[in-house]
Amino acid sequence: MLTPVLHSLIVAIVSTFLAFLSMLPLSYYFANHKSKFQLAIEIIILLPLVLPPTVVGLILLGLFGKNDLIGAFLWNNFNYSFIFTLAGAIIATTIIILPIMYQGLKSAFLSIDHDLVWAAQTLSATTRTIFFKVILPNCWQPILAGILLSFCRAMGEFGASLMVAGYIEGKTNTIASSIYFMVQQGDMRTAIYLGIINVIIGVFALMVIHILTVRQTNLMRGM
């Protein structure tokens, strides 16, 4: 019963990390600059938010299948395929949580008082110094809240990851896929146990998000 929990944690942690790394520079740039490509890029990033996860999974199968685009290259040159692997589940989950991560980070950067940035610029602070010494200390709480919300979504991902990684017991089974197949097999006890574990993790993360949101709100009111 612990294997699905471990797999879900691995998928959620790695996919959240990848989504954060990829969306951090992009969200920071679009929060502070205008670009003629911004709308097109944001539509691509936010598209998984309005598509069924199974459609996202279908698109990924078309990219990473052994006879398709990226998948054919990996299979022919490295004899490797993301299909039916935990790495495939990580890729699918990362794509699914990109919109949440992007919106969370961008909102955090937009909440910054630009007078602080302007003051740092008048003191000849470098862009790097402004980012690490002014921006991050003033918006780390909403950033962390966005990360936790993305993590919660990653823990519950089912449709896209199931289509890409499948359900292979001991190899690609996660909490969500295990609950589904345990119910199909009539093993309600295991399904309930896994559901309770997921609920506990989700409640804890949401409590932390609530605390961070309240603290940030109080901080903004005190400014």
pLDDT (0 to 100) of residue 221: 64
- Is residue 66 helix, strand or coil? coil
Confidence of residue 18 (pLDDT cuts 50, 70, 90): very high
- Rounding to the nearest 10 degrees, give the CA dihedral for residues 81, 88, 180, 168: 40
Phi, psi (deg, nearest 5) at residue 158: -135, -60
Tell me the mean pLDDT in the region 109-127.
Answer: 85
The tokens describing 44, both together, are 């691509």
Which residues constitute the domain of residue 37? 2-221
Which of 16-20, 55-59, 115-119, 174-178 is least confident? 115-119
Dihedral angle, C-alpha 59, 63, 68, 72, nearest 10 °: -160
Of 143, 147, 177, nearest in space to 161 by CA: 177
pLDDT band at 51 (very low <50, low <70, confident <90, very high): very high
Q: Residue 121: which pLDDT band, with cuts at 50, 70 and 90?
A: confident
Distances 180 to 4, 10, 140, 190, 191 between C-alpha atoms, Å: 12, 19, 36, 11, 8
What percent of the chain is modeled with pLDDT above 70? 97
Average confidence (pLDDT) over 198-212: 91
For every residue of 168-207, DSSP letters joined together read: -TTTT--HHHHHHHHHHHT-HHHHHHHHHHHHHHHHHHHH
Q: What is the mean pLDDT of residues 35-64?
A: 93
**Which of 92, 94, 85, 54 lies closest to 172 in space, CA to CA?**
85
Distance, CA of 36 to chain centre = 26
Cβ contacts of 163 within 8 Å, gap of 6 or more? 54, 57, 58, 60, 61, 92
Number of domains composing the chain: 1
- Assign residue 87 the CATH number of its domain: 1.10.3720.10
